[in-house]
Amino acid sequence: MVEEQRKGRVKGFINLLQDDNLHYRWKAAEALGEERDASAVEPLLKALNDPYVEVQWLAAKSLGKIGDIRALEPLIAALKAEDRWLRQGAAWGLGMLRDSRAVEPLLVLLDDPKKGVRKNTAWALGNIGDKRALEGLTRLLKDPVEEVREAAQKALASVSRAKPEKRMDLPVT
């Protein structure tokens, strides 16, 4: 019974991703991440192209929460988006996926002009835990923004204690 109710909620949220009302779409994109249901991956991938960035960045974050590898390439592509919110959400989502194939594309964002993008990218690299991020994260310790420097410091600590297996660190939002 409980599982049937959850599946019904997920189906309802997926339907709301198509709604004309922006508010419903972004709420649905966010809620689908909380449900963590793999059936939402394809609809959320489509939502990465929603006309409104409010939906796009929440879809990116929800894809990360679901943790399905089908999101890897689309999230890497979203790192090149013009809008900072989508870049930031994509970085966060990739950090949640913890796939080392995202490291090189993420390293580029350590020089992003927007502090939120740099901060979330540092967190993502720390959560992935790949040693290739050490140089870029060390450079970020000289960032002019304190919260970015703090994120870099935490990320460096995560990378230095990372093991090859997956870790379950909590994300910075």
- For 122-172, give the secondary structure using H, E and C: HHHHHHHCCHHHHHHHHHHCCCCCHHHHHHHHHHHHHHHHCCCCCCCCCCC
- Enumerate the domain spans of the chain: 1-85, 98-165
Fold of 1-85: Leucine-rich Repeat Variant (1.25.10)
Is 50 exceeded by the pLDDT of residue 170?
Answer: no
The pLDDT score that the predictor gives to residue 167 is: 41
Q: How far apart are CA 4 and CA 72, in angstroms?
A: 29
End-to-end alpha carbon distance in the chain = 33
The superfamily in CATH containing domain 98-165 is Leucine-rich Repeat Variant (1.25.10.10)
The pLDDT score that the predictor gives to residue 164 is: 57
The pLDDT tens digits for 46-105 are 999 999 999 999 999 999 999 999 999 999 999 999 999 999 999 999 999 999 999 999
1-85 and 98-165: identical CATH topology: yes
The pLDDT tens digits for 100-154 are 999 999 999 999 999 999 999 999 999 999 999 999 999 999 999 999 999 999 9
- Closest by Cα among 120, 114, 127 to 167: 127
The pLDDT score that the predictor gives to residue 133 is: 97
Q: How confident is the model at residue 168 (pLDDT cuts 50, 70, 90)?
A: very low
